[in-house]
Amino acid sequence: MLEGFLVAAIAVPLGLLTGSLLARYVFGCIFKLYQNENMMMSTIQELIQRGESKLIVPWIYLLAIGVAMLTVFLSLLRPMGIAAKVSEVEAMRYRSEQTKKKIRKGYSDITVTRLAMVHLAGNKKKSLITICSMAITGLLCMVVATVLSCANPKEAADHSVMGEYQIAPIIDNNDKEHPELEWSQVQQNNPLTEELREQILQIDGIDSVECYLRNDAESDAFDGNREGMLGVPESGKELLEDGIIEGNATYEELKSGNKVIIDKNLLHWYPDLSIGDVIDVVTWDGGEKCRKQLEIVAIGDYDLGFTRYNYLIMAEEGLHSFSGYNLNMYYRIFANKKYDADVEAKLKTIIEENGRIQMEACFFRSVII
């Protein structure tokens, strides 16, 4: 038992040290390979660079050491049982057969440490495999720990929902059984009305309700696909301007209706788009189509909670000019508490009574039809 644990005491630290040294290099290779294909990998890299997520986590080392020692203990039980059954006389008579004579360094006295070193030197292959396996174990533990530390539900919710709650109309495009759920039909009888907004504001605990607009845009520049256009209210002016990473645009300029910021995520699918391009789009004014020209004046980097996958962004006044109908898409509700059971219950009651809206929240996610 002592010999086995002493071997582990030498191999485990070496394995963990090797894994620690390899971790940053291996992560760098993974980031380089997937940085343009996987948003999660880019986010993890950014968090590590900002120091918000650590590759070296002490409790993971303790866990790895504990697992290794438990494994060593379990692996020693059977050979210890076999050795215990061998009598002293039989052990003294035992001579292992050797094909070649080797000159070995002798010791005047034998200790557990020297026995362990003899074992390591006499079984180089096994010792190397043990050290490499511990290195891989340590690396695997750190990879899993880093991914799990980045998969923070609270942080993910904060990035996917602005405010504490978000209410939107129920939309289902291309539903043959319910054509009234098409966005072109919903905007003609939009449930997100000013009366609904006032009703929400009357709930105790609600501080404000911000309204974001949306419309669809179809273009050859998008290979004939539809992309969402987002209309940002005056209250979102700072977020809009602060998110610009290339080019220049002010909130006032984006009120014209012919200038637009594109989110950098859109460039992943359409890399040929660039600042200064003018694209022809087809939008929907109720059931009617209308043609517009949009000039790309800047590229932005925004949270999902801000864009909701609508990667063409302008001021709300600009988007209002695209249609005479109600383009309200998101009521983003800010409360004085992150979670309040009374506020939640009252919002759910409003949703059930309306029957045409759905809700998302920061600490829970529910859809009520």
Model confidence pLDDT, tens digit, residues 17-53:
888 888 777 877 777 776 665 666 677 777 777 776 6
- If one compares 324 and 145, the residue with the highest pLDDT of the two is 324
Mean pLDDT along residues 166-185: 87
Q: What is the pLDDT of residues 313-322, one digit of tens each?
A: 999 999 999 9
| 165 in the same domain as 296 | yes
| 293 in the same domain as 320 | yes
| 347 in the same domain as 233 | yes
Q: What is the pLDDT of residues 230-245, one digit of tens each?
A: 999 999 999 999 999 9
Per-residue pLDDT, 55 = 67
Per-residue pLDDT, 81 = 85
CA 337, 341, 342, 345 torsion-angle sign: positive
Mean pLDDT along residues 48-64: 77
| 343 in the same domain as 249 | yes
Per-residue pLDDT, 366 = 40
- If one compares 101 and 154, the residue with the highest pLDDT of the two is 154
Q: What residues make up the domain containing 112?
A: 2-93+108-151
Statement: residue 101 has pLDDT above 60: no
Looking at every residue in the chain, the average pLDDT score rounds to: 83
| 220 in the same domain as 89 | no
| 118 in the same domain as 39 | yes
Residues forming a β-bridge with 56: none
* Residue 101 included in any domain: no
Q: Which helix (H) or strand (E) holds 298?
A: strand 288-300
Residue where the block lists tokens 């997937």: 34
Statement: residue 98 has pLDDT above 50: no
| 206 in the same domain as 58 | no
CA distances from 113 to 58, 109, 273 (A): 28, 11, 67
Domain tally for the chain?
2
Work out the pLDDT band at 329, boundaries 50, 70, 90.
very high
DSSP string, 216-230: EEE-GGGTT-EEEEE
Q: Are 319 and 259 in contact (CB under 8 A)?
A: no
| 281 in the same domain as 198 | yes
* Residue 342 included in any domain: yes
| 355 in the same domain as 294 | yes
